[in-house]
Structure 1
């Protein structure tokens, strides 16, 4: 049994637990394209010749480029932040303040990793002014992911990182690509809110546009697309024409541990060949 490789970031909605189910739906290809790379668990646990890994979070992408190029220098500097004396709310908030004021990519990358591992619940959240605003996490001993950083760097030698939105990522697709999309999830209810990772967040319109782009990419360009999301009536309607698999997974959807429970997640697979046949059948019935 091959041991799965963990990401070096904590990430709300990370796909480590779902990797096996997702990989089952990913066909062979020359390049895996991820418009929402996040912590990169799918990238780390697949074996494509090349990767295009995209995200609109500039801090995330710049950090990945630094780790890709010179992991040992990054590890040496980051390790100085992961000492017991720095696991303190005062140091955390001072580091967050410095991070929000910093302009140097390396300074921001180091701050980003420290905040990610010491902040509350692995959240990555910015306010409307673009300032990181996750509170201190109060963990007993935050983990320094030295081995995971080296593993990520080694794996990323065949990867290209791009700070672009999902529509721009779809525009860069070419034949023999395979696409995996892990968008910010649709809300479980009308009272639930989106987590704003960057900018104005991911709207219901974005959910619909992503689904439409995925269908068109499979139907018209012959490029397979896999998407994961909450299993709710909205996503089942949006992902019509796709093969669907439901997975029950533990999610921290509440701050209170006793309220955390399993939720159903949907994996939608737009098979390029079969989807084209579905389109022909629908046109013949019309």
Structure 2
């Protein structure tokens, strides 16, 4: 059974978790430098997790959920969902508060607004403008889902997790002997290359792949990476074993929702 996540998320691994799970590292602790919606954590049973992402809004949400009794966060966040869900004026009002009143909001208010925006915005996208403002348009859903059960499940699961806001390079510096690493960066050639407020270029993909290869060579950590077929040559040339899968398409600029090819690149553990 697949466990859903708190957030709607473009590229969520819930959709391919049954295909991905057999290729994930065998380890006591899983390190995720691109945590996103935490779909992998919510659908695996590692003893420990290091959950990291460069998006401070995302990590603030997760940390607020686990920093207080979960029912208090649910009460705070659920109140926002009581407003008319088909009123774009309310959505844009809350988005303005989120962007322009950032320094005046408490951490839990910021987290609650982020959850509201995610569940009401278009397609669960998480995009920011050059000034760092959340800029995804209104999604026009009849009744956005409030993920109470998912929040409770996350709070329970995260008892075994360290959750931190870091760039991927800094997260990889924390990989210890015996850890497994799973990376889900913005896909190469997908058109959705933004990584928080910065881009994620082909050069970034190459730097990530080389860093992962070095960790495997030096420490022997098992590595798994999800990406598009455009990244096949990059990872194959570094010695990764490439598995190709069909993944349901959640977003398409052309309206084509047929399954898309993805790759799972694997380096087995050594040493």
For normalisation by structure 2, the TM-score amounts to: 0.94
What displacement does 1:267 show? 0.2
What displacement does 1:55 show? 0.2
Relative distance call for 1:256 and 1:208 in structure 2 (3 A) is closer
1:84–1:141 Cα contact (<8 Å) kept = no
Query: Computing the radius of gyration over CA atoms, which structure comes out larger, 1 or 2?
Result: 1
From 229, 232, 241, give the equivalent of 1:231: 229
Match of 2:79 in 1: 80
With a CA cutoff of 8 Å and minimum separation of 6, indicate the structure with the bigger relative contact order. 2
Match of 1:90 in 2: 89
1:195 & 1:119 partners in 2: Cα distance? 19
Tell me the SS of whatever aligns to 2:37.
coil
1:86 & 1:199 partners in 2: Cα distance? 27
**Range that drifts further, 10-19 or 98-107:** 98-107
Q: For residues 98-130 of structure 1, what are the alpha-carbon distances to aligned partners after superposition, in whole Å with 9 as ceiling and x for unaligned? A: 001223221110110000000000000000000
2:85–2:142 Cα contact (<8 Å) kept = no
1:222 maps to 2:187: no
What displacement does 1:91 show? 0.2
1:194–1:202 Cα contact (<8 Å) kept = no
1:211–1:239 Cα contact (<8 Å) kept = no
Tell me the SS of whatever aligns to 1:251.
coil
2:173 & 2:50 partners in 1: Cα distance? 12
Q: For residues 222-263 of structure 1, what are the alpha-carbon distances to aligned partners after superposition, in whole Å with 9 as ceiling and x for unaligned? A: 00110000012x433334311111111121342454x22221
Match of 1:266 in 2: 263
1:5–1:44 Cα contact (<8 Å) kept = yes
Q: For residues 52-101 of structure 1, what are the alpha-carbon distances to aligned partners after superposition, in whole Å with 9 as ceiling and x for unaligned? A: 00000000001100111222111001111112524410000000000012
Relative distance call for 1:263 and 1:86 in structure 2 (3 A) is closer
2:9–2:36 Cα contact (<8 Å) kept = yes
List alignment gaps of at least 5 residues for structure 2.
Answer: none
Match of 1:200 in 2: 198
Q: For residues 160-210 of structure 1, what are the alpha-carbon distances to aligned partners after superposition, in whole Å with 9 as ceiling and x for unaligned? A: 11110111111111011000000011014xxxx334241222111110011
1:120–1:134 Cα contact (<8 Å) kept = yes
Aligned residues: 266
1:18 maps to 2:16: yes
For normalisation by structure 1, the TM-score amounts to: 0.89
Relative distance call for 1:125 and 1:197 in structure 2 (3 A) is farther
Tell me the SS of whatever aligns to 1:85.
coil
2:66 & 2:26 partners in 1: Cα distance? 24
1:228 & 1:157 partners in 2: Cα distance? 26
